[in-house]
Structure 1
């Protein structure tokens, strides 16, 4: 835990790719491998990274097989428990594309638009303002991955196609709401199972987010 009371605080809210699930098997990558841990290392003690990842988390869908995966249900108390916050990073969407939900990419983007409403209404900074918001479009599902059919059986080829359509739709939400946007698929990819970040993708993803965080922090300092 960073104990600097002036640290620029970032909440990273996501699914198994924020939790750090390996593409090659079960368990969890160590903190110094996960992109959130690498983000903390890159930014240093002037920043505090809060990791809030959960495998199977959706944007706002109830999973009939697991009753605690609706991200929207947990997001509000999560913001309240971690505020004050300087920045909120949200990377969700691929779990919505599981075949059992039958969801289209535009509905995913619309759900993320609702997350911005929650942040604006619930979260607060030390100065009483609204935290900076960064929407991150997730990596593409890869139906050509060697373990996709076996280990990612809740997805199909249509899911993979839909995942490739998410970035422009989420970018449009970000532009319309005047929040930040980053595309994880521009620097990172899935590993063997076609759904989870490859081990060597965590570092470039951390660097992508670090650039956005550093730029946002610098802009805020200019106005203080």
Structure 2
């Protein structure tokens, strides 16, 4: 059986803006939708609210630095055939850095980690699919407006920059903003319909990359 690792933030965790922090039902989260579409493939959902590509968040308890945690995740789940990286929205917070170029560099660092990791048990680096998150949209939620100040414009640039780094490094690329959009309830997260759309749209891409 082939294994797909979905490494992401709250969009992968299944954050439900309608409930103010609960989770979408398990079958509606995009990794679950992807698994249902692929059939006999092990799809592992490794999502954490607030996770960044490669940067610290000093305001939280659990480590949100995606680059620091990734080696542990890789060793935990090896062998992995495909790693899907869906990160970058939290990088757009001014308190993190708010710079799409730095998010691109963070993604490049994650690629480097996957390819250079010392895998236990004779494991080896997986193929990699970079997924650009849907851009941040305007919201009347004052808290999220301040948390992601400037994020509407900066997040619009992520897809182009991620496509560049994918081409530079020989990774797959998918722009989730082409099939899904964030809910205006908080401007960042996805409702059930849109999170399902990501899983559905990724299925043919993943089939091709896994040669199913």
TM-score normalised by length of structure 1: 0.88
Q: CA deviation at 1:66?
A: 1.2
SS of the equivalent of 1:153 reads helix
In the other structure, the counterpart of 1:4 is none
CA distance in 2, matches of 1:137, 1:107: 14
State the Cα deviation string for residues 92-135 of structure 1 (Å, max 9, x = none).
Answer: 00101112123311110011011111111127699854311000
TM-score normalised by length of structure 2: 0.92
CA separation of 1:78/1:152 partners in 2, compared to 1, >3 Å: closer, same or farther? farther
Which of 50, 54, 57 aligns to 1:56? It is 50
Paired residue total: 209
Which of 62, 72, 75 aligns to 2:70? It is 75
Q: CA deviation at 1:152?
A: 5.0
State the Cα deviation string for residues 45-83 of structure 1 (Å, max 9, x = none).
Answer: x20100000000011111110141111111011001100
CA distance in 2, matches of 1:168, 1:38: 26
Residues 85, 125 of structure 1: 8 Å contact kept: no
Residues 182, 190 of structure 2: 8 Å contact kept: yes
CA distance in 2, matches of 1:38, 1:125: 29
Instruction: Work out whether 1:26 is the aligned partner of 2:21.
Output: yes
Alignment of 1:82-161 (within 5 A): 82-122=77-117, 129-143=124-138, 145-147=139-141, 149-156=142-149, 158-161=150-153
SS of the equivalent of 2:22 reads coil
Q: CA deviation at 1:30?
A: 1.1
CA distance in 2, matches of 1:20, 1:117: 27
In the other structure, the counterpart of 1:183 is 175
Residues 128, 171 of structure 2: 8 Å contact kept: yes
In the other structure, the counterpart of 1:166 is 158
* C-alpha RMSD of matched pairs (Å): 1.8
